[in-house]
Amino acid sequence: MFATPSSLLLEQRKDIISRLDDVLRCGLALQLLLYFAHWNVKGMGFPVLHPLFGDLADKIAAYNDRIAERIVILGGEAQVEVESLNQGKALGDRALVKVVSTGVKDYLDELREARKGMEDADTDQVLMDGVLEWEKYGWQLLASIEE
Structural domain includes residue 1: no
Structural domain includes residue 73: yes
93-115 pLDDT, tens digit per residue, is 777 888 889 999 999 999 999 99
Count of other CB atoms within 10 angstroms of residue 46? 11
Structural domain includes residue 3: no
Q: How far apart are the first and last CA of the chain?
A: 51
60-103 pLDDT, tens digit per residue, is 999 999 999 999 999 999 987 655 334 445 556 777 888 889 99
75: left (phi over 0), alpha (psi -120 to 50) or beta: left
Give me the CATH number covering residue 118: 1.20.1260.10
Structural domain includes residue 4: no
Query: How many structural domains does the chain have?
Result: 1
Q: How far is it, in rounded angstroms, from Cα 62 to Cα 65?
A: 5
